[in-house]
Amino acid sequence: MRRWGLLSRLLGFSAVSAGTVAVTQAVLLVAYAVLAWPALVANAVAVCVAAGPAYWANRRWVWSRTDRHSLSREILPFWTYSLAGLGVSSVLVAAVEAWWESAAAVSAANLTGFGLLWIGKFVLLERVLFARPPSPVTSDVPQR
């Protein structure tokens, strides 16, 4: 039963990630290709626009957390990891833009940066941010 729960959360996390990628890519491509913003600015805006809904969807839908949000235990670590992804993807986006002024190349660089951190983010959410305290172990020995 425990394995099914983990698989279910991994599938849910994958679905949320797919939605986050769609939002990030849409904002990135509009900002870069249509509005002609520099790649780094477009990338930063795209990541920040998508991070809030990603936090909420993962917390509520994937990990079924409805209790109060914790700034120090959930929100700040989530944003810190998101900003780490922004850092990695920004390095890649800047390098790609220096070689090719191509929206497809900038998009691929963004996807690569976040793809590199994807498993780590799942582990962070599963084991730290949204982890539930272990349930008490019951004993087969009758209590007096």
**Cβ neighbour number for residue 132 with a 10 Å cutoff:** 8
Domain count, the chain: 1
pTM: 0.80
Domain containing 31: what range? 2-129
Q: Which long-range contacts (CB under 8 A, 24 or more apart) does 41-47 make?
A: 42/106, 43/86, 43/89, 43/90, 43/93, 43/106, 43/110, 44/86, 44/90, 46/110, 47/82, 47/83, 47/85, 47/86, 47/89
Asked if residue 144 belongs to a domain, the reply is: no
Residue 78 lies in a domain: yes
Position 34 scores a pLDDT of 97
Q: Judge whether 111 lies within some domain.
A: yes
pLDDT at 135: 61
For residue 143, tell me if it sits in a domain. no
State what percent of residues in the chain have pLDDT above 90: 69
**Is residue 140 situated within a structural domain?**
no
- pLDDT tens profile 68-81: 999 999 999 999 99
Q: At what angle do helices 39-57 and 76-99 cross, to 10 degrees?
A: 150
Indicate whether 135 belongs to any domain: no
